[in-house]
Amino acid sequence: MIDYIRENLSYYPIFFRLLFKTKKEFTPERVDYGTDKEQYFLYYEPKDSVSDKIVIWIHGGGWNAGNPKFFDYVGQYMARAGYRFVSIGYRLSPKNKYPAQIIDVCNAYNAAIKYLNDKGIDTSKVIVSGPSAGAHLSSILCYSKKVQDEYKVDVSNVIGYIGVGGPYSFRKSQSMTLKMLLGMLFAKGYDRTEAEPWSLMTKNHIPMLLIQSRHDGLIEFECAEDLAGKAEMVGNSCEIYEVEDKRNTHSWYTAGYFLFERNESKTLDKYMTWIENA
C-alpha cells in the first residue's frame, strides 16, 4: 500500500517537469502500418551510430493509454546514445479488446523490419524491449511460438529482449489497478491464458533481461520471478535485475529512467550496458 501511494503521489509533478525539459534533437519518421490512428511507428535515426544493433520498443500505459509520440523522449535518448530506434504504437483498450494489441505489435514489427530493410539497413541484430503493458506485449512477441506462427513473425534476428516492470503472469495476488486494467483489456469470458506470457512462453534462442522493482506499487515482483522460472523450465536464458534506484515505483522505473543520464540511474545504466553486451 505504501508503494502504491508513493507511485501516485510522487510521479506526476516531477516526471512532467523533467519531460518538458527534454531536448528534441531528432525528428522521427512516422510510418503508418494500418488505418487506425494508433497503428503507426516512429523511426529515429542517430546522427552518429555506435552500433549495428536496432532497438524496437513497445510502449506501456496500461494497454489503454500512451503512444509513440508521447514517449518521444525515449526515442530522443536512444538516438542520442547512437542507436537506431523504432517505437511501436498499437490500438488501445477498452475500445479495442485483446488480441487487437498483439496483432498490431506483430504487424508493426513486420512492417518495421521491412521498412528498415527497404532503407538498406541491416536488421540482423534486433533488441526488443518494452515497459509495463509494453513488456507484456513484447514478451509475447518474442517467446510465443503460437503467436509467431499465427501472425507470421520471424524473430530469428532478435538477439535480446528487455522487459521492464511487466505483468508476465496473471497471478491472484495483484493490485486493484492491474485487475481493473485487465478487465478493460479482455472481453468477458476471454481465456486469459491465451494472453499470459507465462503460459505462452516456448523455448527459443533469445536471452532476456527482466528489470523489476520490489517497490513497484502496481505489479508484483513475483511476476518477473514467474517468467524467469518458466524460462528456466523450457531452457531459455533469463536474468532478473532488481531495481536499486530510490525512484523505484512503477512509473519511475518503467518510463522515467530515460529522463536521466546513466550516471544518475542504475536502472538506465543496466539497460544500456545489457544492450551493449548483447
* 239-260 pLDDT, tens digit each: 999 999 988 899 889 988 999 9
- In this structure, the strands spanning 40-44 and 29-32 are antiparallel
Backbone φ, ψ for residue 256 (5° rounding): -75, -20
Residues, the chain, total?
Answer: 278
Q: Which residues partner with 242 through β-bridges?
A: 212
| Contact yes or no for 151/77 (Cβ under 8 A) | no
Q: Where are the beta strands (DSSP E) in 11-77?
A: 29-32, 40-44, 54-58
pLDDT category of residue 70 using cuts at 50, 70 and 90? very high
Half-sphere exposure of 126 (CA within 13 A, CB side): 25
Q: What is the pLDDT of residue 157?
A: 98
Q: Which CATH superfamily is domain 2-277 in?
A: Alpha/Beta hydrolase fold, catalytic domain (3.40.50.1820)
The closest alpha carbon to 28, from 63, 68, 58, belongs to: 68
The label of the residue with cell 518538458 reads 20
The DSSP code for 52 is S
Q: Positive or negative CA dihedral for 47, 48, 53, 58? A: negative
Mean pLDDT of 211-219: 93
Distance CA 133, CA 96 (A): 15
Q: Is the peptide bond before 94 cis (omega within 30 degrees of 0)?
A: yes
Instruction: Give residue-wise pLDDT tens across range 161-212.
Output: 999 999 999 988 888 889 999 999 999 999 999 999 999 999 999 999 999 9
Nearest to 10 by CA among 217, 270, 262, 242: 217
Cα–Cα distance measured from residue 105 to residue 124, given in angstroms and rounded to the nearest whole number: 19
Unique residue bearing C-alpha cell 514489427: 109
Task: Tell which wins on pLDDT, 19 or 248.
Answer: 248
Chain Cα centroid distance, residue 277: 19
- CA dihedral angle for residue 60, residue 105, residue 198, residue 216, rounded to 10 degrees: -10
Give the predicted TM-score (pTM) of the model: 0.94
Distance CA 269, CA 21 (A): 21
